[in-house]
Amino acid sequence: MRLRDWPLCCGTWLLVMVVAAVPQALADPLPTWRDGAAKTAIMDFVARVTDPEGRDFVPVAERIAVFDNDGTLWSEQPVYFQVLFAMDRVRAMAAQDPSFADTPALKAAVAGDWQALFTDHGKPMGAVLNATHGEITVEEFQKRAGQWLREADHPDTGRPYDQMVYQPMLELLRYLRDEGFSTYIVSGGGLHFIRAYADGTYGIPPQQVIGSTTQERFELVEGVPQVIKEEGVFFINDKGGKPVGIDRHIGRRPIFAAGNSDGDLEMLQWTTAGQGPRFAMIVHHDDGAREWAYDRDSKIGRLDKAMDLAPEEGWLLVSMKDDWTQIFPWGNR
Amino acid sequence: MRLRDWPLCCGTWLLVMVVAAVPQALADPLPTWRDGAAKTAIMDFVARVTDPEGRDFVPVAERIAVFDNDGTLWSEQPVYFQVLFAMDRVRAMAAQDPSFADTPALKAAVAGDWQALFTDHGKPMGAVLNATHGEITVEEFQKRAGQWLREADHPDTGRPYDQMVYQPMLELLRYLRDEGFSTYIVSGGGLHFIRAYADGTYGIPPQQVIGSTTQERFELVEGVPQVIKEEGVFFINDKGGKPVGIDRHIGRRPIFAAGNSDGDLEMLQWTTAGQGPRFAMIVHHDDGAREWAYDRDSKIGRLDKAMDLAPEEGWLLVSMKDDWTQIFPWGNR
C-alpha cells in the first residue's frame, strides 16, 4: 500500500463499519412480539434503565432479571415436565430391573395411575421423585435429565421437551442480556433438572439457575470425591421461597421479573417493591389454539391472586394470544 | 490536519500505544508475593490455562476460582471476627435495653465470659448468634455488620476489621479476575456477614459469596415485602458442605481453590479431582511475628489432615512467613 492510499483506506473502512452497524441498530430485538402495548412497555423500560444520561439509569451490575421457568419460559401442560421425566425414569428402571418397582407408589408410576400418585397429599408422587432424584451423583443425574429432554417426545406435540420453549421469551432473554442484564431462572422446579438444558437452550449458565433442591452430600466413593443427590427435600424455591432463594443466591433485588402463576407472586412483589425503576410481567396462558388456555381454575400453574393484583401493582399481563406472533421456535402447537 | 500528515499521525499513536502497554505487560501482578516456588507455581498455572494455543487451555466460563474466607483472605485470630461482631452486638443491644440480656447466654456475652459461652457444645454461643443474627431484615443486618466492620477495632492491631485482609490475597484475586477467572468466596462464615464487605474490600459481588445461612422467610410487614433472617441454622457451608454449596450455587467444578484449614479439605479434594488442569493452595499461618502462628493444635482454623495430604495431592502450601513480603494492606501486625 502506498502512503497516499491511506486516507481512502480509512474512509472505506469507516463506511463498512457504519453500514454493518445499521442492520444491528434497526433490527427488531423482539421479532415474535407483536407491536403493541406489551412490547412497547418492555422496550421503554429497557431504554430507560440503560440510558446513561437518564434519571432512571441502572448500572450493569444491578441489572438483574429473574424468570420463572415452568409456564414462563417453556410449557407446563399436561403436567410439569419434570414429573413426566420422573415417570419415564421409573418405567425405564423397572424395565431394566422389575424388582425396582416394588412399592405401591412405583407400581402406580409404571401403570401411569395419576390418581393413585396424587392421593394422600401426593405422598406417592414424592416417593417417585425420591426414587428418581435421590442417591445419584449430580453429574449422572444431569446427564440422564439432559438426554431425556433432548430425546423424549412431548405427548401432545411430539416434540422433544427442550423444544417446548417460548420463542418470544428466548428473544426477551437475549435482548436483556444484550442490554447488559444478567438473566436468572428462579423456579420451583428442580435445580439440577433445569441446569441440564438451561445453558444450551436459554443461554443461562448453571450459576444463574435457582431452583428447588434435594438434600446432597459430599462423599469419597472408592477414593473419588462425589457430590450426591439424596432423597428428601432441602429447599422448595416457590412462592415466598423465591425471594429467599434470590437473596441467598444473588443478594441483590432484581429490577425485572417474569412469571406466570401465583407461585411467582412473592417474587413479583419483592422485585417491584424496590427503589427506582422496576418491571414485572405475567405470561397469561390464553391461547388454547396455539398453546394451552388456563388460569384461575388450573391445578398446574394456577394464576388467580397475581392476576387480580396485576393492575394495581402495575404488572404487565402478557397475552400469549395477542402479544406473541409465534409460540415455539418451530411454530405453534 | 492535512492528508499527508496521516501516516506520521498514525505512527505516533502506534508508538504511544506500545509504550503505554509496556509497563502493563512487565508489571508484577503479585508484588507482595516473594519471587520463588509458590509465586511461580501460581503464575505458571494461570499461564497454562489462559494460553489459547496450549493443551491446558480453559475457556473463561470455566475459570472458576474459590476462596475460603477466615484465615485465607483475612485473619481469624483471636477468634472468628463474626463471633466478635455478635459479642459487640449483644453488648450494644444490652446497653440500649438492659432487659435484652435476660438469659445466662446473653449475660455471659455481655461479661465476655468465653468459657461459659463454649460449654455444653457451644449452645450458649449458638444462643448469642441467634439473638444477633435472627429476626432482622437482611438489609438491616448487612447495614449493621458493614458499619461494625468499618468502625470497630481489632483487639490486637487496633485496625478496623475490614483492613485485616491479606494484601497478597487481594492481589491474587485481582490477578485471577484480570485473567478471566470468576472469583468466589466459599466460607463457613455467614453469607450476609461476608456480603456486607466482600464487594468493597475483595471486589467479590454478592452473587459470588457462598456461606453459611440462617433460616429466612419472606413476609409483608405493614404491606412492605421483606426478607427476614430467622433464628436457627439453614445450612453450614463447611467441610463436606463446601462442595455441596459450590454445586448448588455455581454448578461447575472450580479449577482453582484456596483454603487454610481442615474445613477446606473437601473443597480442595473436590476441586483437584476434576479432569484437566487444577490448582489448590493452603495458606499456612507460620508467621507469629507479622500475623499469627498456628496449625495442628489450634481451635481456630486447625490445619492438620489437609497439611498431611498436601504433598501427595500436589496442593501448594503457602508460607506466610517466606512467600509473602507483606501481610496487610497497611503493613504487618
What string of DSSP letters covers B239-287?
A: TTHHHHHHHHHT-S--SEEEE-SGGGHHHHHHHHTSSS--EEEEEE-B-
Which residues of chain A approach chain B closer than 8 Å at the C-beta?
Answer: 3-4, 6-7, 10, 61, 138, 191, 195, 205-207, 209, 213, 216-220, 224-225, 227, 240-244, 247-252, 266, 269-270, 273
Nearest to A248, CA basis, from A213, A300, A200: A213
- From B10, B207, B224, residue closest to A273, measured CB to CB: B224
Structure confidence by residue, pLDDT tens digits, B297-332: 999 999 999 999 999 999 999 999 999 999 999 999
Which positions in chain B touch A257 (Cβ < 8 Å)? none
ipTM of the complex: 0.92
Using CA atoms, how far apart are residues B68 and B242, in angstroms rounded to an integer?
A: 9
Q: b/e for A54-91, b at 16 or more Cβ within 10 A? A: eeeebeeebbbbbbbbbbbbbbbbeebbbbbbbbebbb
Question: DSSP label at A136?
Answer: E
Q: Please say whether the beta carbons of B225 and A190 come within 8 A.
A: no
Residue in A closest to B61 by C-alpha: A205
Distances A78 to A48, A70, A81, A298, B118 between C-alpha atoms, Å: 39, 12, 8, 11, 55
Average pLDDT over residues B283-299: 97
Query: pLDDT > 90: what percent of chain A?
Result: 91
A212's enclosing H/E stretch is: strand A209-221
Q: Would you place residue A163 in the very low, low, confident or very high pLDDT band (cuts 50, 70, 90)?
A: very high
Structure confidence by residue, pLDDT tens digits, A180-226: 999 999 999 999 999 999 999 999 999 999 999 999 999 999 999 99
Q: What is the pTM of this model?
A: 0.93
Q: Please say whether the beta carbons of A190 and A82 come within 8 A.
A: yes
| Helix, strand or coil, per DSSP, at residue A129 | helix
Label the pairing between strands A224-235 and A209-221. Answer: antiparallel
The C-alpha of A70 sits at a distance from chain B's nearest C-alpha, in angstroms, of: 20
Distances B107 to A79, A223, B98, B232, B255 between C-alpha atoms, Å: 55, 47, 10, 20, 46
Structure confidence by residue, pLDDT tens digits, B227-263: 999 999 999 999 999 999 999 999 999 999 999 999 9
Structure confidence by residue, pLDDT tens digits, A67-105: 999 999 999 999 999 999 999 999 999 999 989 899 999
| Helix, strand or coil, per DSSP, at residue A280 | strand
Nearest to B162, CA basis, from B213, B200, B209: B200
Using CA atoms, how far apart are residues B22 and B3, in angstroms rounded to an integer?
A: 30
Per-residue confidence (pLDDT) for residue A21, from 0 to 100:
52
- From B195, B241, B251, residue closest to A209, measured CB to CB: B251
Per-residue confidence (pLDDT) for residue B210, from 0 to 100:
98
The answer, yes or no, to whether the previous bond of B329 is cis (omega within 30 of 0) is no
Question: What are the cell numbers at A68?
Answer: 420463572
What string of DSSP letters covers A220-270?
A: EETTEEEEEEEEEEEE--STTHHHHHHHHHT-S--SEEEE-SGGGHHHHHH
The C-alpha of B269 sits at a distance from chain A's nearest C-alpha, in angstroms, of: 7
Query: Is the model's pLDDT at A11 over the cut of 70?
Result: no
